[in-house]
Structure 1
Amino acid sequence: MLERTLRKDRTEVTFVLPADTPPGPVSVVGDFNDWQPGAHTLRRREDGKRAVTVELACERTHSFRYLAAGDYWFNDESAGTQDGPNSRLRT
C-alpha cells in the first residue's frame, strides 16, 4: 500500500506492507535510490505494519519494486500501473 503526503516542493511516499508478509527484512528499491537494496528498508510501525517514507520530487513517474529476504522481488498492487516487471508511481 502507498500513502502519499503532498508538500510544497515534494511528495512524501510511504511504502507500507503487512507485519510479516513476506517474512524477513524488506526494502523498496527503485530509480529514486539507484536500485540499491537496503537503501530504504521498511521498519515496524506502532500499528504492527512495516513502512518506510521516501521524499520524491513532484510531477514525476518512478519505477520501483520490493526486495525481500531470499532474493524475492515483488510489486505493489496499489501502485496502479507497471513498467515491465516494475511497479510505477506518479508523484
Structure 2
Amino acid sequence: MAIKKQFLKSKPVCKVTFTFPAEEANHVAVVGNFNDWNTASTPLKKLKNGSFKGTVDLEANNSYEFRYIVDGTYVNDEQADDFTWNDFAGAENAVLNL
C-alpha cells in the first residue's frame, strides 16, 4: 500500500495517489469523508502488475478519514498518517493529513 501526496503551488489542493496491491482482487475502491463514504464514487483502476491505483484531488490543510474496500471488505492502509476510532463502523479508520 502506498500514498503519494503532490501539493499544487497554484492552489490549495493536494493530488493524492492511492496504490493498493491486490493481485487476487476484482474491485478496489477508496472511501472516506472526502467522498461521503460512497463506495461507488472512487474506484481504483487495476494495473498490469496486479495493483490498483487512483488519484483524488483534496483540499490541503485538512485531515481525512478513509479506508479501502477490497471486494466488499474494508481494509486500512498501514502507511496512513494516523488512525482514529470510528464508533459507527466499530473499527479504526486510516487518517490522511494534508
Give the TM-score, by structure 1 length. Answer: 0.88
Count of residues in correspondence between the two structures = 89
Structure 2 residue ranges without an equivalent (≥5)? 86-91
Is it true that 1:27 corresponds to 2:34 in the alignment? no
Structure number with greater Rg is 2
Aligned to 1:40: 42
Please list every run of 5 or more consecutive structure 1 residues that lacks an aligned counterpart in the other structure. Answer: none
Give TM-score scaled by structure 2 length. 0.82
Determine the C-alpha separation between the residues in 2 that align with 1:51 and 1:35. 18
Structure 1 residue runs of 4 or more that deviate by more than 4 Å after TM superposition? none
Aligned to 1:18: 21
Q: Which structure has greater helix proportion?
A: 1
Aligned partner of residue 34 in structure 2, secondary structure: helix
Match of 1:80 in 2: 81
Identity of aligned residues (%): 31
* Structure with the larger strand share: 2
Aligned-residue Cα RMSD (Å) equals 1.5
